[in-house]
Amino acid sequence: MAEEILEAPNVVEYPFSRTTGPVVGAFLTALREGFVVGIKAADGSVIVPPVEYDPFTAEALTEIVEVADAGEVVSWAWVAEPLADQPLDRPFAWALIKLDGADTPMVHAVDTGGDPAGISTGSRVVARWRPPKPAGSDEPGPGLAEDPNPPRAYREGHILDIECFVPEAS
Amino acid sequence: MKMRDVAIVSFAQTHHERATRELNEVEMLMPILSEALAGAGIGKDRVDFVCSGSSDYLAGQPFSFVVTLDAFGPWPPISESHVDMDGAWAVYEAWVKMQLGKVDVALIYAYGKSSPGDIRRVLSRQLDPYYLGPLWVDSVALAALQARAGLDAGAFSVEDMARVAAASRHNAMSNPYAQLSGEVDVADLLAEADFVAPLHKHDCAPVTDGAAVVVLAAGGAARELCDRPAWIRGIDHRIEPHALGARDLTTSVSTRLAAEHAGLGAKPVDVAELHAPFTHQELILRRALGLDEDVSVNPSGGALCANPVMAAGLIRMGEAARRISSGKADRAVAHATSGPCLQQNLLCVLEGD
């Protein structure tokens, strides 16, 4: 008879909170307010989301610039079976999205209603924002809830303040 | 500065499997540690330095690598280090340490058991915690974005990608340690359903439990321990920005730079062992390295046929060295990668004499 192999659940947690600083913080604060910012790189190009140091010269970057919340799909991948905790629990696309005014694309999810034909390289998408947090709301902020991935009802300074992107109405 | 000659003199690896549930990491490593020492004809008393590569995120507990040190046996006290990187980077650390002259023999091991968790989700934890980490965008999805960018740019086709998968599995038929092998038809592969489109399952490395060990020796010790040492003639690693959007994903600037600094172009190589966990990444690497058509690429089958995370890069070094020591090759290049979409790349040029 084969020996029984013992198993036990092992829940790994990293319950840290961080201070995001003037660059990442500016991006997250803008999201909470419902707009998107990037940062001007050493060569004048606009990097979105903003990075603290120039990717090529390593100099500290400081000039925050606003970009649009809509743009063009640079590349995309179709997820027929989403994994746990991903932004959508039904078939969706990951995309590299170059927002208008940005020179680099950012990664986010695109909801085409489950239809892979709803996205293509070069197609236009726009952010689907969560609503602003009402005054007096006691919804937990990120990192405070017991659940490491709490459902986010409102914008609170988090990449998922943009719930996902959707195809731009033509 | 005159660099000290350091060579790979012995190599051992596990029979890679989807899941080795009956073995813990120590049990997985012990037989191949013995095998690698025996291959060099030495006992552990000859080892001046031990360096390992692994990830606590796979084991699911902090400092798990300290526990795994029991496989070697750290008593009486030993000189030891660890990198939270593929074992290829542990080789780099040992090589640097050996340049200082105090270490003549070093033992490197690396291991990864992906089976207890979901490796796609585990690898998402290496992403930045603000922009990508909270999306739980997984390793296959990011590779799929890279593949689409390359396909759109005309850098390669889905047929090219499937051919890489078929060639890898064909090559792995002569590798008894491989997890996947066999003759497969490119048309059959392409007829299979999409996985994370544009990637098919055959474009992705399998999920693997496995480990590997390499013994390094310097100068006269290398000649003593091995009839034909695989001398490290150049070793270099380069890192691209972590901001994915700032990179050109259709090429590999860091691989090209590492190749230049490792002196790859000085002479042709007979063998290239490339650590490409996705088919399109092998195509990107071949181009970045400027490999001629007659170079034997991944005669072992590569990571597409066995991908023990944290050890798959070290295995490339071992496989390349093995071909030099056996006389099948005179000059080889081994490559290891880390991070999403080939973010980090290490190259090691090996020669026999």
Tens-of-pLDDT digits for all 170 residues of chain A? Answer: 567 888 888 777 777 777 899 999 999 999 999 999 999 999 999 999 999 999 999 999 999 999 999 999 999 999 999 999 999 999 999 999 999 999 999 999 999 999 999 999 999 999 999 999 887 766 655 544 455 566 678 999 999 999 999 999 86
pLDDT at A145: 47
B123 to chain A, any CB pair closer than 8 A? The answer is: no
Q: Are residues B308 and B178 part of one domain?
A: yes
Residue with tokens 């170079």: B295
Judged by CB atoms closer than 8 Å, whether chains meet at B145 and A24 is answered as no
Contacts with A48 from chain B: Cβ below 8 Å:
245
Nearest Cα to Cα of residue A38 among A117, A120, A100: A100
Q: A32 vs chain B: nearest CA distance in angstroms?
A: 14
pLDDT at A18: 79
Please check whether residue A4 lies inside any domain of the structure: no
Please check whether residue B1 lies inside any domain of the structure: no
Please check whether residue B104 lies inside any domain of the structure: yes
CA A102 to chain CA mean position, Å: 15
Please check whether residue A15 lies inside any domain of the structure: no
Number of structural domains (chain A) is 1
Q: Are residues B160 and B83 part of one domain?
A: no
Q: Does the predicted TM-score (pTM) go above 0.90?
A: yes
- Among the partner residues B21, B121, B243, nearest to A51 by beta-carbon distance: B243
pLDDT at A151: 63
Q: Are residues B279 and B145 part of one domain?
A: yes
B245 to chain A, any CB pair closer than 8 A? The answer is: yes
Between β-strands B209-218 and B6-13, what pairing exists: parallel, antiparallel or unpaired? antiparallel
Helix, strand, or coil here: B80?
A: strand
Contacts with A18 from chain B: Cβ below 8 Å:
129
What are the helix (H) ranges across A3-99? 21-33
Could you tell me what percent of chain B has a pLDDT over 70?
100
Judged by CB atoms closer than 8 Å, whether chains meet at A20 and B130 is answered as yes
pLDDT digits 0-9 by tens, B306-350: 999 999 999 999 999 999 999 999 999 999 999 999 999 999 999
Q: Are residues B337 and B189 part of one domain?
A: yes
* Domain of residue A158, residue span: 21-134+151-167
Please check whether residue B280 lies inside any domain of the structure: yes
Please check whether residue A128 lies inside any domain of the structure: yes
* Domain of residue B340, residue span: 119-206+233-351
Judged by CB atoms closer than 8 Å, whether chains meet at A96 and B137 is answered as no
Could you tell me what percent of chain B has a pLDDT over 90?
95
Please check whether residue A91 lies inside any domain of the structure: yes
Helix, strand, or coil here: B120?
A: helix
Judged by CB atoms closer than 8 Å, whether chains meet at A96 and B22 is answered as no
- List the single range of A132-136, B16-20, B218-222, B299-303 with lowest mean pLDDT: A132-136
pLDDT at B59: 87
- Among the partner residues A55, A78, A109, nearest to B241 by beta-carbon distance: A55
pLDDT at A2: 67
pLDDT at A170: 63
CA B185 to chain CA mean position, Å: 26
pLDDT at B333: 98
Q: Are residues B165 and B20 part of one domain?
A: no
Nearest chain B residue to A85, by CA: B136
Give B198: exposed, middle or buried? Use CB within 10 Å, 0-12, 13-18, 19+.
buried
Please check whether residue A96 lies inside any domain of the structure: yes
Please check whether residue A5 lies inside any domain of the structure: no
Angle separating helix axes B279-289 and B158-171, nearest 10 degrees: 90
Q: Are residues B275 and B126 part of one domain?
A: yes
CA B191 to chain CA mean position, Å: 30
Listed in sequence order, the residues at least 6 apart from B198 whose beta carbon sits closer than 8 Å to its beta carbon are A77, B144, B147, B148, B151, B158
pLDDT digits 0-9 by tens, B175-200: 999 999 999 999 999 999 999 999 99
Number of structural domains (chain B) is 2
Judged by CB atoms closer than 8 Å, whether chains meet at A96 and B244 is answered as yes
Count Cβ atoms below 10 Å from residue B120 Cβ, excluding itself: 19
- Among the partner residues B22, B61, B144, nearest to A77 by beta-carbon distance: B144
Q: Are residues B277 and B165 part of one domain?
A: yes
Angle separating helix axes B253-262 and B279-289, nearest 10 degrees: 50
Please check whether residue A39 lies inside any domain of the structure: yes
pLDDT at A144: 45
Judged by CB atoms closer than 8 Å, whether chains meet at A159 and B134 is answered as yes
Q: Are residues B260 and B156 part of one domain?
A: yes
Strand locations in B149-307 (E):
194-197, 199-200, 209-218, 230-239, 271-273, 296-297
- List the single range of A149-158, B209-218, B225-234, B247-256 with lowest mean pLDDT: A149-158
pLDDT digits 0-9 by tens, B64-97: 999 999 999 998 999 999 999 999 999 999 999 9
Q: Are residues B338 and B268 part of one domain?
A: yes
pLDDT digits 0-9 by tens, B100-149: 999 999 999 999 999 999 999 999 999 999 999 999 999 999 999 999 99
Q: Confirm if B245 and A107 have CB atoms less than 8 A apart.
A: yes
B198 to chain A, any CB pair closer than 8 A? The answer is: yes
Region class of A63: left (phi > 0), else alpha (psi between -120 and 50), else beta: beta
Q: Confirm if B252 and B288 have CB atoms less than 8 A apart.
A: yes
Contacts with B131 from chain A: Cβ below 8 Å:
49, 106-107, 159
pLDDT at B84: 95
Angle separating helix axes B87-99 and B312-325, nearest 10 degrees: 60
Mean pLDDT of B235-263: 96
pLDDT at A149: 60
CATH classification at residue B346: 3.40.47.10
Nearest chain B residue to A45, by CA: B246
Contacts with A10 from chain B: Cβ below 8 Å:
60-61, 116
Q: Are residues B97 and B82 part of one domain?
A: yes
Mean pLDDT of B163-167: 98
Please check whether residue A13 lies inside any domain of the structure: no
Backbone angles phi, psi at B118, to 5 degrees: -105, 105
pLDDT digits 0-9 by tens, B25-72: 999 999 999 999 999 999 999 999 999 999 999 988 888 999 999 999
Taking the CA of residue B165 as centre, how many other CA atoms within 13 Å lie in the half-sphere pointing to its CB? 24
Q: Are residues B192 and B45 part of one domain?
A: no
Give, in degrees to the nearest 5, the angle at Cα B252 between B246 and B255.
125
Can you tell me the distance from the alpha carbon of B39 to that of B151, in angstroms, rounded to the nearest whole number? 44
Q: Confirm if B60 and A7 have CB atoms less than 8 A apart.
A: no
- Among the partner residues A28, A78, A83, nearest to B194 by beta-carbon distance: A78
Between β-strands B49-53 and B80-83, what pairing exists: parallel, antiparallel or unpaired? parallel
A128 to chain B, any CB pair closer than 8 A? The answer is: no
